Structures are given as structure tokens and as C-alpha cells.
């Protein structure tokens, strides 16, 4: 006899192992679920057990209770010990057939079957759809301890975007990039070519000399000189010699007098570039490069120091969570 729905006597055992009372429930068995209601007219589903979550199906039994509403046939009277005590066995006291199922989440149900045929039908359906017990179901991992949410660079960026402050990040990145590019260009194209000059010594005859004021005791000395190359060729070029300090421009008048011959140097790669003291020329380019970049670096450095001091804890957490992630998470 096929029966997949109706009122069944059931016992529910919670995932903590607490067994409930035996009570009548309306059960409906489908090809995918076991639905539990209070009765056939109940519109509320009290529980839905997915058959794929059932990992244990076995036969069980319990002694059938003696009903006082109907006569019970006396099977046997035994007073073999002559003690006056009689053992009574009832003809309908056989055991009740139960089907015992366990779900993946450790909840259990015991359902009373009215007949062997109904038991076999339910058993076959449960077995056919039965799930596989995983290791995590058998030995669930301990609950993870609470950990604070990570504060990464991405979190910082998302917060700024949420508050409408993304432009500040973009402006800071752009300003930093401009500063780096500007310094790189000045250093590689302006300072290094002068610093890496290969000097060739020669003797310069001074034809004329003049000083041009630049700023704050800094002068450019314009000196017309004639000198010989290693090849013996004579060149006449205007030398631009940088001079700074209290000794300028009187230094030129004392050391670079018109009509005298003074030791000088010219560039091996460009013989037309002649000078008396290369260190003064290099220092001038250092001054210009670090003056320009230092002026731009000042506001950037002030901003970084102020923000770093005010948000030092958040910044430390951001670097820690971004660069040193916890392997256990």
C-alpha cells in the first residue's frame, strides 16, 4: 500500500540531542523534500527537510503501547514460581516499525510506519536521495574567534569615494607624480650632463672680462678666451663662469685679468664649452634643481606629516592589513 502523505506519529530530536514528545504530524513525502505540517489543512509549513541533506536512514522500533480502549487477548499466563505473580503477554504487543533519519545538520526524526510496505517505500526513497556525509559534517571546525574587519588601501579608497573625497586622493597622486617627474628630468637632463663632463686641461688667454649680476651676490662672469685643443687647434669662445659669495665680482678682477693666461678646462665631448672651475657650475645647477623641487616638496611634506600624525593609527592598521594579511583568514 503506497502512502506518501498523511498523519504520522513522530518524534523530533534537536541538533543538541534533546528528544521531543511523540506527537501526530502531517507529513508529505516528495521526490525532493519531506514537508512537515500540523495537519492537512495547515497552510504553514512547519519544517522542510531536503532529502539530499539526509545522511542517515535506518530501521528502528519501539514497543507498541497497550490500548485500554479495546480488549487485549491474553497470550500466556505463567505462574511457574508459585509466588502468586502472573506474567501476562498480550497478543498485540509486538514492536512498532520506525524509520529513523538524521540530517546533515544533526537534527533527527523518528517516524512511526503503519506497515512494512509503507516503511519499505519510504526507506527506498530516502536511500535513493540520501546525501553524503562530509568530513566537515562529522567533525565541524570550531567557531572562529571574532576579528575586526580589515582596513586596507581598498577600504580607505572606498570610504573617501563614499564621502566625496576621492578628488583629494587623485590630486595627491597627481602632485606626487609631477614632483617625481620634474626632479627626474632636472637631474638627468640638467645636473648629470654637467657633473659627468670629462675635463681636458688647457691654457686660456683672456681677451675680455665682464660680470653680470644675477641675484643676491651671485654673478655670471662673461670672459672671452682663446685656448688650444689637444689637436693643436686654437678656439676663441665666450666663457660663462658662475661666481657667488662676498668675493664676487672682485674675485674675477684679481684672478682673471685681461691680457693674462690662466689654466682652464674644456669639455672633451664639446670643446667649445670652456670653464675655469667646473664645481661652481655644478653647484649652480644643484641650487636651481633643489630650489625648484624643494619649493614644491615643502607643501607635499607638510601635508604628509600632518595627515600622518593625525591618522597614524589608521595608517599603521592600513599598512598592516594590506601588506601583512593573516594567513588564517
Residues 190-205: tens digit of each pLDDT: 999 999 999 999 999 9
Under a CB-based contact definition with an 8 Å cutoff, are residues 38 and 135 in contact?
no
Higher pLDDT, 163 or 278: 278
Query: What is the count of structural domains for the chain?
Result: 3
Q: Does residue 278 lie in a domain region?
A: no
> Band of the pLDDT at 326, cuts 50, 70, 90?
low
Strand-pair partners of 8: 25
Same domain, 183 and 289: yes
Residues 226, 227, 229, 232: is their CA dihedral positive or negative?
positive
Same domain, 192 and 202: no
**Taking 80 as the threshold, does the pLDDT of residue 68 lie above it?**
no
Residues spanned by the domain of 156:
148-196+283-329
Least confident of 30-44, 187-201, 241-255: 241-255
Higher pLDDT, 15 or 159: 15
Same domain, 213 and 230: yes
Give the cell for residue 80.
511457574
Helix H or strand E segment including 253: helix 250-255
> Band of the pLDDT at 73, cuts 50, 70, 90?
very low
pLDDT of residue 226: 96
Same domain, 225 and 313: no
> Band of the pLDDT at 64, cuts 50, 70, 90?
low
Same domain, 184 and 320: yes
Among 250, 272, 294, the domain-final residue is 272
Q: 247: which residues sit within 8 A by CB, 6+ positions away?
A: none
Q: Does residue 277 lie in a domain region?
A: no
The share of the chain scoring above pLDDT 70, in percent, equals 84
Among 138, 161, 183, the domain-final residue is 138
Same domain, 297 and 173: yes
Give the cell for residue 40.
492537512
Q: 118: which residues sit within 8 A by CB, 6+ positions away?
A: 1, 2, 3
> Band of the pLDDT at 153, cuts 50, 70, 90?
confident
Same domain, 164 and 246: no
Q: Does residue 171 lie in a domain region?
A: yes
Residues 284, 287, 292, 293: is their CA dihedral positive or negative?
positive
Same domain, 130 and 263: no
Same domain, 188 and 78: no
First CA to last CA distance, the chain:
55
51 φ, ψ (degrees, to nearest 5)? -65, -30
Q: Does residue 143 lie in a domain region?
A: no
Average of per-residue pLDDT across 17-21 = 89
Instruction: 180-187: list long-range contacts, CB under 8 Å, 24+ apart.
Output: 182/292, 182/293, 182/296, 183/289, 183/293, 186/288, 186/289, 186/292, 186/293, 187/289
Under a CB-based contact definition with an 8 Å cutoff, are residues 64 and 72 in contact?
no
Under a CB-based contact definition with an 8 Å cutoff, are residues 10 and 108 in contact?
no
pLDDT of residue 23: 93
Same domain, 164 and 99: no
Q: Does residue 96 lie in a domain region?
A: yes
Q: Is the pTM here over 0.75, yes or no? A: no
Q: Does residue 314 lie in a domain region?
A: yes
pLDDT of residue 61: 80
Q: Cα–Cα distance between 91 and 99 in angstroms, integer?
A: 23
**Taking 90 as the threshold, does the pLDDT of residue 163 lie above it?**
no
Domain containing residue 39: CATH number: 2.30.29.30
Q: Cα–Cα distance between 217 and 250 in angstroms, integer?
A: 11
SS3 category, 101? strand
**Taking 90 as the threshold, does the pLDDT of residue 131 lie above it?**
no
Same domain, 222 and 264: yes
Same domain, 254 and 239: yes
| Block residue for cell numbers 500540523 | 38
Q: Cα–Cα distance between 66 and 68 in angstroms, integer?
A: 6
pLDDT of residue 137: 63
Q: Does residue 25 lie in a domain region?
A: yes
Amino acid at each position: 500500500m503506497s502512502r506518501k502523505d498523511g498523519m504520522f506519529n513522530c518524534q523530533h530530536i534537536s541538533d543538541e540531542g534533546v528528544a521531543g514528545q511523540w506527537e501526530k504530524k502531517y507529513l508529505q513525502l516528495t521526490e525532493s523534500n519531506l514537508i512537515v505540517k500540523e495537519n492537512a489543512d495547515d497552510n504553514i509549513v512547519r519544517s522542510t527537510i531536503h532529502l539530499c541533506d539526509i545522511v542517515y536512514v535506518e530501521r528502528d522500533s519501539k514497543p507498541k503501547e497497550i490500548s485500554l480502549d479495546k480488549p487485549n487477548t491474553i497470550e500466556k499466563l505463567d505462574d511457574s514460581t508459585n509466588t502468586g505473580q502472573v506474567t501476562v503477554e498480550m497478543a498485540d504487543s509486538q514492536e512498532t516499525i520506525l524509520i529513523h533519519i538524521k540530517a546533515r545538520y544533526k537534527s533527527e526524526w523518528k517516524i512511526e510506519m503503519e506497515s512494512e510496505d509503507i516503511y519499505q517505500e519510504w526507506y527506498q526513497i530516502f536511500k535513493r536521495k540520501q546525501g553524503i556525509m562530509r568530513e566537515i559534517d562529522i567533525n565541524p571546525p570550531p567557531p572562529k574567534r571574532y576579528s575586526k574587519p580589515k582596513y586596507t588601501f581598498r577600504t580607505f579608497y572606498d570610504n573617501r569615494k563614499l564621502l566625496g573625497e576621492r578628488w583629494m586622493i587623485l590630486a595627491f597622486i597627481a602632485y606626487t607624480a609631477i614632483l617625481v617627474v620634474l626632479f627626474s628630468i632636472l637631474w638627468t637632463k640638467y645636473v648629470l650632463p654637467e657633473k659627468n663632463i670629462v675635463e681636458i686641461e688647457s691654457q686660456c688667454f683672456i681677451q675680455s672680462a665682464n660680470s653680470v649680476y644675477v641675484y643676491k651676490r651671485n654673478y655670471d662672469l662673461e670672459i672671452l678666451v682663446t685656448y688650444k685643443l689637444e689637436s693643436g687647434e686654437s678656439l676663441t669662445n665666450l666663457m660663462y663662469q658662475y661666481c657667488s659669495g662676498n668675493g664676487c665680482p672682485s674675485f674675477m678682477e684679481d684672478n682673471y685679468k685681461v691680457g693674462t693666461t690662466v689654466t682652464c678646462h674644456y669639455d672633451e665631448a664639446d670643446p667649445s664649452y670652456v670653464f675655469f672651475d667646473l664645481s661652481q657650475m655644478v653647484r649652480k645647477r644643484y641650487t636651481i634643481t633643489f630650489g625648484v623641487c624643494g619649493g614644491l616638496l615643502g607643501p607635499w611634506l607638510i601635508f604628509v606629516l600632518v595627515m600622518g600624525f593625525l591618522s597614524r593609527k589608521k595608517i599603521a592598521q592600513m599598512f598592516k592589513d594590506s601588506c601583512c594579511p593573516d594567513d588564517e583568514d
